[in-house]
């Protein structure tokens, strides 16, 4: 899915340019060729077409020059390590337009103008004037137009989040299980339009054994309507993945909790779980103060959200005070969240917050989802770009 999102179908020339930029090794004392500072490594800067140390005549870029913040991604090849994709991002407006990088390098509101392309091919792009806060998944797509041998690039469309960038960053979200009983066909699409790379998996009764390798393809897993029960070994696989840095959000309440035993089996080794004997409960659910429940400006807690036919959430004694309540119906705790090892887990005892009728009409629910995703799987990487 990542490849599909970031690897369009550029011409052969475009591929050669990307490979050339990605292969730049600027640690050589002689100074390798460069087009921008993005082509240089090891603290070097691009001066007169060559990578140089600041002491050799280059000026050290300002601390707030806007380099992409990858955290530890480059060191450990983590989930958000996009490789050479990041090397194409420029730090300032250029005198001339560069071809085949999908950027408005010279800030003239045109992308790759005068760059030959094969009609019918497509390439990724960032809209002109993209703000410095646009996240990596703000990339859109442009098509090569004209029926002649050499075409020209059309406008950039489909960029996640528009000019303000994608809300959900570049997270790979796995939706585990089938959709809920009510209309929720647009839930996955909604996540994608917010910038997420969303993939549904384990959505049939014949789903294969849950393996660590499959979980490693995601930054965050949202558990929906599971179609089978899970073994203790599979539950341990999930628990290990979370403790090693994964983000896990689990819903239940499907069939008014009649099939909740499937979620309970999956969560056995994780710790927090659901109580089938407590349901079904009807809300709405009152949200408690927590990083996942605040308004957009952080000044207040979101209003109650839909909760119909769900279950109570439980926390084992050893995790009390770490995994804490964040949603209640009266005295019943129906939502809990907290860190587990290097990862995070959040349980919400109902699935109505995924239904089209709820998230498309109640502003609190999209904000609740945004809060949950960004808390469960932090992603601070942004693309700096000329305004």
319-344 confidence digits (pLDDT tens): 999 999 999 999 999 999 999 999 99
Pairing of strands 312-314, 308-310: unpaired
125 located within any domain:
no
Range in 186-190, 268-272, 345-349 the model is least confident about: 186-190
Residues of the chain with pLDDT > 90, as a percent, come to: 40
pLDDT value at residue 1: 34
Q: Is the pLDDT of residue 39 over 80?
A: no
The answer to whether 241 and 219 have CB atoms below 8 angstroms apart is: no
Pairing of strands 324-329, 312-314: unpaired
255 located within any domain:
yes
- Residue 331 burial class via C-beta count within 10 angstroms: exposed 0-12, middle 13-18, buried 19 and up: exposed
Task: Report the C-alpha gap between 44 and 31 in whole angstroms.
Answer: 9
20 located within any domain:
no
Q: Is the pLDDT of residue 33 over 90?
A: no
More confident residue, 115 or 165: 115
139 located within any domain:
no
Range in 60-69, 139-148, 305-314, 372-381 the model is least confident about: 60-69
pLDDT value at residue 117: 80
pLDDT value at residue 92: 65
Query: E-strand spans in 27-145?
Result: 45-47, 50-52, 122-125, 140-145
Q: What is the DSSP string of 195-263?
A: T-EEEEES-STT-----HHHHTT-SEEEE-B-SS---HHHHHHHHHHHHTT-EEEEE--GGGGTTTHHH
Q: Is the pLDDT of residue 306 over 60?
A: yes
Helix (H) or strand (E) segment spanning residue 152: strand 152-153
370 located within any domain:
yes
293 located within any domain:
yes
More confident residue, 110 or 337: 337
- Residue 275 burial class via C-beta count within 10 angstroms: exposed 0-12, middle 13-18, buried 19 and up: middle
Residue 50: is the preceding peptide bond cis (ω within 30°)?
Answer: no
The residue written with tokens 């011409």 in the block is 11
In a 13 Å sphere around the CA of 82, the CA atoms on its Cβ side amount to 28
Domains contained in the chain, number: 1
More confident residue, 253 or 252: 252
Task: Report the C-alpha gap between 136 and 80 in whole angstroms.
Answer: 10
The tens digit of pLDDT for each residue in 263-298 reads 999 999 999 999 998 879 999 999 999 999 999 999
- Residue 1 burial class via C-beta count within 10 angstroms: exposed 0-12, middle 13-18, buried 19 and up: middle
pLDDT value at residue 11: 31
Say which CATH number the domain at 361 has.
3.40.50.880
Domain extent for 228: 172-376
Closest CA to 347 of 316, 378, 318: 316
Measured between alpha carbons, how far is residue 78 from residues 141, 148, 191 in Å? 25, 43, 21
Q: State if pTM tops 0.75.
A: no
Q: What average pLDDT does the segment 312-325 reach?
A: 98
Q: Distance from CA of residue 124 to its chain's centroid?
A: 17
118 located within any domain:
no
110 located within any domain:
no
Confidence label for 220 from pLDDT (cuts 50, 70 and 90):
very high
pLDDT value at residue 82: 29
């Amino acid at each position: 899915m990542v490849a599909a999102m970031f690897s369009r179908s550029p011409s052969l020339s475009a591929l050669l340019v990307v490979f050339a930029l990605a292969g730049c090794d600027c640690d050589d004392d002689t100074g390798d060729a460069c087009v921008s500072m993005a082509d240089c490594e090891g603290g070097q800067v691009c001066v007169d077409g060559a990578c140089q140390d600041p002491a050799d005549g280059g000026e050290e870029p300002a601390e707030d020059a806007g380099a992409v913040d990858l955290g530890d991604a480059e060191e450990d090849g983590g989930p958000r390590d996009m490789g050479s994709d990041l090397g194409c991002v420029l730090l300032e407006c250029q005198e001339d337009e560069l071809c085949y990088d999908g950027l408005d390098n010279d800030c003239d509101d045109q992308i790759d103008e005068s760059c030959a392309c094969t009609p019918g091919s497509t390439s990724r792009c960032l809209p002109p004037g993209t703000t410095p806060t646009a996240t990596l998944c703000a990339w859109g797509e442009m098509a090569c137009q004209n029926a002649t041998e050499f075409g020209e690039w059309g406008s950039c469309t489909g960029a996640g989040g528009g000019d303000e960038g994608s809300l959900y960053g570049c997270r790979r979200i796995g939706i585990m299980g089938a959709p809920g009983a009510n209309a929720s066909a647009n839930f996955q699409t909604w996540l994608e339009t917010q910038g997420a790379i969303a993939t549904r998996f384990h959505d049939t009764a014949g789903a294969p054994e849950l393996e660590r390798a499959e979980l490693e393809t995601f930054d965050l897993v949202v558990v929906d309507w599971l179609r089978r029960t899970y073994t203790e070994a599979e539950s341990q696989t999930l628990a290990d993945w979370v403790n090693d840095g994964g983000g896990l959000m689990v819903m239940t309440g499907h069939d008014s909790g009649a099939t909740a035993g499937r979620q309970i089996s999956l969560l056995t080794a994780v710790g927090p779980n659901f109580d089938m004997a407590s349901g079904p409960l009807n809300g709405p659910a009152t949200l408690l103060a927590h990083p996942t429940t605040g308004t957009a400006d952080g000044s207040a807690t979101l209003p109650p959200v839909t909760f119909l036919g769900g279950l109570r959430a439980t926390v084992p004694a050893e995790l009390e005070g770490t995994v804490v309540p964040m949603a209640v119906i009266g005295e019943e705790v129906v939502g809990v969240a907290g860190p587990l090892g290097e990862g995070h887990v959040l349980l919400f005892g109902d699935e109505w917050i995924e239904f089209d009728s709820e998230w498309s009409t109640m502003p609190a629910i999209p904000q609740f989802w945004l809060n949950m995703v960004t808390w469960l799987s932090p992603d601070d990487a942004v693309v700096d770009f000329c305004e």
